[in-house]
Structure 1
């Protein structure tokens, strides 16, 4: 099997609420998703999708992905896409960094590996360990009354894990969490996600003022070093996200005992090839994970869902149904969601097909 062409498509994903808001004044109503299609000499096609959560969230933005994919295309054309580690090494040699662009290609390669072997990707990642997976819901930063309404709506739909966006000043965030805590029910998972907005002293002050409230504190400060310092003084378990961007970053965090949990966003680490290594490192160390991505539609959701489905249940904190955060679907066959849980089909590969009626082709390389 050889890759004959690489096509790049883009599509818009309008958010299904008034605005997706989080710390630092960042707010978005629409995201641009990039879909890669690899066509092979056997007639099989593989699909990958990545969608940065706006230009100010991570070191990648949708407008820059076409240029990165143009640089990467020659390393893929003519190669056997089933050799995922070999192809990742070739992409790393061709382009420094730019993990999100590489992830779009890597996911399409895994889709082809599954299709060519007749197996779902979760089988190739270790086997099906979760027939269904618990989902969390993001409670976007807003006024307390609006956030309380979101909690009630999500719980009625079967969700029991919540990621609460924080990022006001410390006193306002403290008051917000205290005001919401009476809604908490036994067995639920609550995460206060700051997206790196606080200084170290602010994070420690918040944690001490909220002592006794059962929640994870996620990425309170921007840098790894700041979060590590806070972990030594905080009163809550620490979950890391944005400050981890590579396998070596995760190894360092495990060595430093810097976290109690992590958010594993597949595209941030370059796709499934590196993410499965990180997943296995965390499993071996007893670190639970939220396995997800920054944003996306059905293809991106399916990709991380296959990784989550093949993760030991004790180390899967939860995952999310990002495709349902949008008013438009860019793919058919996305994982099914019911009662706060998500299930995958048994179709080979990622099990999804792009809906080209919502996509525009930007480039074709052969």
Structure 2
């Protein structure tokens, strides 16, 4: 399959209920880029570039300004060139990971369509029809947290609570308030997003002896999180402190943390994330597979990866569109009973862009 044309659109999706706060950054709008790759034989592949939440406006604009150099180089080449270019860009720095993810997603979408297979099969196969959809809460008051819990409902297996935004005592109060409302079968991911020191994390965690709590990314580095796990004896999940595949494998081999969060848009694309997923599966390490908040195309790609994890090891996935205001629904998520979700059916990602739904592209690269 020869690449004939690439169209690019910028997207902006504000948060529906106001700013979404984490310990290291507060987001008001999610920015991304949609890629549609056309082949000479009439196929189209979709990708979504996901920029890191902490990326500055200037950094984002610099990455967008570089698009003509690498996208124009793909025109006239085989589709495999998308995957190859993505692998080459992996070494360009962590801010490029979301671009690598978008390029690889378009490549896998095209490969799946060419083979008549969903992306989940191209990534190694599907082990379940759906995944538990966790519900994330980022609020400053116990009252607002309670309101969000009502929206989530008791059928929701996993609740994530953002911490590290206020004082440690406030974090303790919020965790206690959530635990009092959860059922015995629900799980709380208490997520500080790396916002605590080791001592603060240990002090807060020591206040609770509840098997429903998993302490997510208490500190900003892998070594700090493993120290917290060793000192407290409580389950600790590592997330964005695992910045590359080699550190993810180390986390699995060390066996000091209880679980790992796999984010393809941060690790460097679907290929690397699949390898980490399979390494976790072979070692019996529990995992969560998701990403930063994003649109339909990226969410679908991540769900295709998630359904290939062993169900008994997968803590949850996520509808990463949930808190966002989207101008259009590309139906990147299928909902099942019991707060479970999955990727669209059909070959590739299972998503098509209706004609003119995106408006005029920001840029077009084509064979002249």
Correspondence for 1:184 among 182, 185, 190:
182
The number of residue pairs the alignment matches comes to: 362
The yes-or-no answer on 1:48 pairing with 2:47 is yes
Q: Give CA deviations for 1:192-214 in whole Å, capped at 9, x if unaligned.
A: 00011111111111111223353
Task: Summarize the Cα distance change of 1:359–1:340 in structure 2 as closer, same or farther, 3 Å threshold.
Answer: farther
Partner Cα separation in structure 2 for residue 281 and residue 75 of structure 1? 33
TM-score (norm. length: structure 1): 0.91
Q: Give CA deviations for 1:318-349 in whole Å, capped at 9, x if unaligned.
A: 10111232221555232122441113332110
Write out aligned runs for 1:273-292 (5 A).
Answer: 273-292=271-290
TM-superposed deviation, 1:63: 3.4
Write out aligned runs for 1:5-84 (5 A).
Answer: 5-24=5-24, 26-52=25-51, 54-55=53-54, 62-82=60-80
Task: Summarize the Cα distance change of 1:333–1:153 in structure 2 as closer, same or farther, 3 Å threshold.
Answer: closer
TM-superposed deviation, 1:102: 1.1
Gaps of 5+ in 2: none
Write out aligned runs for 1:333-344 (5 A).
Answer: 333-338=331-336, 339-344=338-343
Gaps of 5+ in 1: none
Partner Cα separation in structure 2 for residue 64 and residue 317 of structure 1? 36
Partner Cα separation in structure 2 for residue 284 and residue 145 of structure 1? 42
Task: Summarize the Cα distance change of 1:177–1:235 in structure 2 as closer, same or farther, 3 Å threshold.
Answer: farther
Residue aligning to 1:161: 158
Q: Give CA deviations for 1:296-322 in whole Å, capped at 9, x if unaligned.
A: 111011001101112211121110111
Residue aligning to 1:326: 324
Partner Cα separation in structure 2 for residue 324 and residue 200 of structure 1? 32
Q: Give CA deviations for 1:263-313 in whole Å, capped at 9, x if unaligned.
A: 111111222111110110111111122111112111011001101112211
Residue aligning to 1:351: 350
TM-superposed deviation, 1:137: 0.5
TM-superposed deviation, 1:223: 1.5
Q: Give CA deviations for 1:228-281 in whole Å, capped at 9, x if unaligned.
A: 222211242010111112111212222332421111111112221111101101
